[in-house]
């Protein structure tokens, strides 16, 4: 985790224990804060995953914002029980969807690492904007709506797997279907719904300098995202297909440098080969030791 993100995490441990609408306030731990906006959404509670936008400044100078490390998407924060005096969690549990507040945290109260250019008396001003509570069921419904629109726009005939991967066969293969434990050899190109390509085993412009070669992985062993295990396992050798993965079968809430949180993913794939597990060599039992003579 990089320096700015470490500061961000440190600041998260020093938040509020109560929230009201407007005015200067103080948390039980002694941190001054002001509520800019009081939301009207659902009350948060321990166990919720909350999507938030977070900004931090040293006095008036911007240090970091969560949008820079999450491709503009809100970052997920799991609300847990407080473990220490300066803990964020009790405060987060008192917020609602739509709340926005800024907290002025004395630099001397922050754990290391601190900004190297900060001096005694400075304040780390952290603004938290609660966007929404995360619901896997709600997210899946939103993903399915997007997938329906995408398949209609691109004239794709799709068949969902039992796990929820949408498969559009382009060229039907005539070979066998992989079984759990088989190693598959696959060419692929991955992209977002807007067409932006984020990875490929066949396009050298995506990762210049990287050797182009198919991906190999054993089916059902958790070496790849869930949607890949399920989607590739549904194909026969030689098949070319488009796999459309709801976000929960892709990277979910966790963004990557090129994939925002909760992204539906589209993969053009070709199942090139299926390799059966190598049988373990037979083990010959060692002869029993002779009985000791009496």
Q: What is the mean pLDDT of the chain?
A: 84
Instruction: Compute the residue count for the chain.
Output: 294
Q: Is 226 helix (H, G, I), strand (E, B) or coil?
A: helix
The structural domains of the chain, with segments of one domain joined by +, span 3-133, 136-275
Q: Would you call 267 a catalytic residue per the annotation?
A: yes
Q: Would you call 33 a catalytic residue per the annotation?
A: no
Per CATH, 3-133 and 136-275 having the same topology is answered: yes
Please tell me the distance from the alpha carbon of residue 70 to that of residue 39, in angstroms, as a whole number: 23
**Of 240 and 81, the one with more pLDDT:** 240
Please tell me the distance from the alpha carbon of residue 160 to that of residue 129, in angstroms, as a whole number: 37
What are 132-149's pLDDT values in tens digits? 999 999 999 999 999 999
Q: Would you call 55 a catalytic residue per the annotation?
A: no
**Of 127 and 149, the one with more pLDDT:** 149
CB 11 within 8 A of CB 3: no
Please tell me the distance from the alpha carbon of residue 189 to that of residue 202, in angstroms, as a whole number: 7
CATH topology of domain 3-133: Chitinase A; domain 3 (3.10.50)
* Tally of CB atoms within 10 A around 89: 20
CB 176 within 8 A of CB 253: no
Q: Would you call 150 a catalytic residue per the annotation?
A: no
Q: Would you call 166 a catalytic residue per the annotation?
A: no
Based on its alpha-carbon atoms, the radius of gyration of the chain, rounded to whole angstroms, reads 26
Average pLDDT over residues 30-42: 83
Of residues 4, 53, 39, 73, the one with CA closest to residue 247:
73
Average pLDDT over residues 220-238: 96
55, HSE (Cβ side, Cα atoms, 13 Å): 11
Q: Would you call 128 a catalytic residue per the annotation?
A: no
Residue 223: per-residue pLDDT: 94
Please tell me the distance from the alpha carbon of residue 263 to that of residue 254, in angstroms, as a whole number: 10
Only one residue has tokens 């050797």, namely 211
Q: Could you tell me the pTM of the whole model?
A: 0.73
Listed range (57-66, 175-184, 191-200) with the worst mean pLDDT: 57-66
Please tell me the distance from the alpha carbon of residue 180 to that of residue 284, in angstroms, as a whole number: 28
Catalytic residue among 103, 267, 268, 274: 267
Catalytic residue among 32, 34, 150, 198: 198
Please tell me the distance from the alpha carbon of residue 13 to that of residue 31, in angstroms, as a whole number: 12
> Is the pLDDT reported for residue 54 higher than 60?
yes
> Is the pLDDT reported for residue 161 higher than 80?
yes
136-275: CATH number = 3.10.50.40
On the 0-12 / 13-18 / 19+ scale of CB atoms within 10 A, 258 is: middle
* DSSP alpha helix (H) spans, 33-135: 89-92
Please tell me the distance from the alpha carbon of residue 189 to that of residue 68, in angstroms, as a whole number: 25
């Amino acid at each position: 985790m990089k320096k700015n993100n470490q500061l961000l995490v440190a600041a998260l441990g020093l938040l509020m224990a109560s929230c009201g609408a407007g005015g200067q306030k103080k948390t039980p731990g002694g941190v001054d804060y002001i509520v800019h906006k009081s939301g009207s959404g659902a009350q948060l509670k321990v166990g919720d995953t909350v999507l938030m936008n977070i900004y931090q400044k040293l006095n008036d100078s911007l240090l970091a914002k969560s949008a820079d490390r999450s491709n503009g998407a809100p970052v997920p924060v799991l609300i847990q029980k407080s473990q220490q005096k300066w803990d964020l969690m009790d405060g987060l549990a008192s917020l609602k969807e739509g709340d926005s507040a800024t907290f002025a945290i004395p630099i001397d109260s922050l754990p290391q690492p601190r900004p190297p250019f900060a001096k005694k008396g400075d304040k780390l001003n952290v603004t938290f904007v609660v966007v929404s509570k995360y619901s896997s069921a709600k997210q899946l419904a939103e993903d399915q709506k997007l997938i329906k629109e995408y398949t209609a726009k691109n004239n794709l005939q799709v068949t969902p797997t039992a796990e929820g991967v949408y498969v559009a066969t382009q060229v039907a293969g005539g070979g066998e279907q992989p079984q759990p434990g088989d190693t598959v050899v696959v060419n692929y190109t991955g992209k977002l719904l807007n067409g932006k390509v984020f990875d490929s085993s066949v396009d050298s412009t995506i990762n210049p300098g990287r050797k182009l070669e198919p991906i190999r992985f054993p089916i059902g062993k958790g070496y790849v995202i869930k949607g890949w295990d399920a989607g590739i396992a549904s194909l026969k050798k030689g098949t070319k297909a488009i796999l459309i993965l709801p976000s929960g079968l892709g990277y979910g809430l966790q963004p990557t440098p090129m994939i925002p949180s909760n992204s539906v993913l589209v993969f053009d794939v070709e199942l090139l080969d299926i390799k059966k597990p190598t049988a373990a060599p037979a083990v010959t039992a060692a002869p029993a030791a002779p009985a000791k003579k009496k």
